[in-house]
Structures are given as C-alpha cells and as structure tokens.
Amino acid sequence: MTAPDSHQRAAESFSAYVEGELAPAERARLDEHLATCMQCRVSLERFRRTVGRLGALKRTAPGDFLAGVQAQINRRSRGRFFGKRYLLFGRIPFEWLSLAMIVAMLVYYIVVLQTSPTGVVPGK
C-alpha cells in the first residue's frame, strides 16, 4: 500500500483485520503497511481499544424494561398503543380485515361467474 490513500484503505480494513476475516493476500499487504506506517499502527491500536471497550458495555436489560417501555408508549400515545383491549379479540388487525375482503371479493366473483350466461345462443 504505497498510494496516497493507503491510510484510508488501511483504516477501512481494520475491522476485518481484527476479526481475522481478511484474505491472506490483503492481510499480508496490510501487515506490510503497518510495519512501515506508525500512524496506521496507532490507529489500529485505538480501534482495538475502542472495540474492546464497546464490548464491555454489553449489559442485560432489567426484567421490567419491556413493560416500562410499553407503559411509557401507552402514556405518550394517549392509550392508542399497548392499551387494554376491551373487544373480543382486541383491535382488528388490518391484515385480517384485508384478507377477509379479498376472500369476499373472490367468492362474489366466483358466484357471479357461475351464474352469468356462458355463451350466446343464436336466434332461429
């Protein structure tokens, strides 16, 4: 990597380099560049530290997290979302309503097609 944008290309491949996903030829080129470029070695080390620190941030959510988020959405939406359902099946999902309409239209089409004349009988 001796082109002027070699630093940029090296930085773009840091993630694959650290994860071991670079092809052997690309890894060899990057190793060669890192051997001669102090700036990229420092950038790679910063990248490794950043990824390591981000990995340490993983925590599990508290048990009541989902319920709290749903309650907050319910309050802010004035009961439109995650509210109590008083109907037999709750709110009617639009998917089921549209499916019912399609089936009704299909049944109507079949009935009309079966009861309509199929041919023209010429007069004598």
pTM passes above 0.75 = no
Q: How many CB atoms lie within 10 A of CB 30?
A: 22
Task: Write down the pLDDT at residue 82.
Answer: 73
pLDDT at 84: 67
State the pLDDT at residue 61. Answer: 82
Instruction: Please report, for the chain, the start and end positions of each structural domain, with discontinuous segments joined by +.
Output: 6-56, 65-115
In this structure, how many other beta carbons lie within 10 angstroms of the beta carbon of residue 40? 21
- Per-block average pLDDT, block size 10, for the chain (124 residues)? 69 89 91 91 92 82 88 84 63 79 94 74 64
Task: Give residue 28's pLDDT.
Answer: 92
Q: What is the pLDDT of residue 7?
A: 83
Question: Is-contact 14 43, C-beta < 8 A?
Answer: yes
Separation of alpha carbons 42 and 51, rounded Å: 14
> What CATH fold (topology level) applies to the domain 6-56?
Arc Repressor Mutant, subunit A (1.10.10)
pLDDT value at residue 107? 94
The pLDDT of residue 81: 77
CA distance 105 to 26: 60
Chain centroid to CA 8: 28
- Position 45 scores a pLDDT of 94
CB 59 within 8 A of CB 32: no
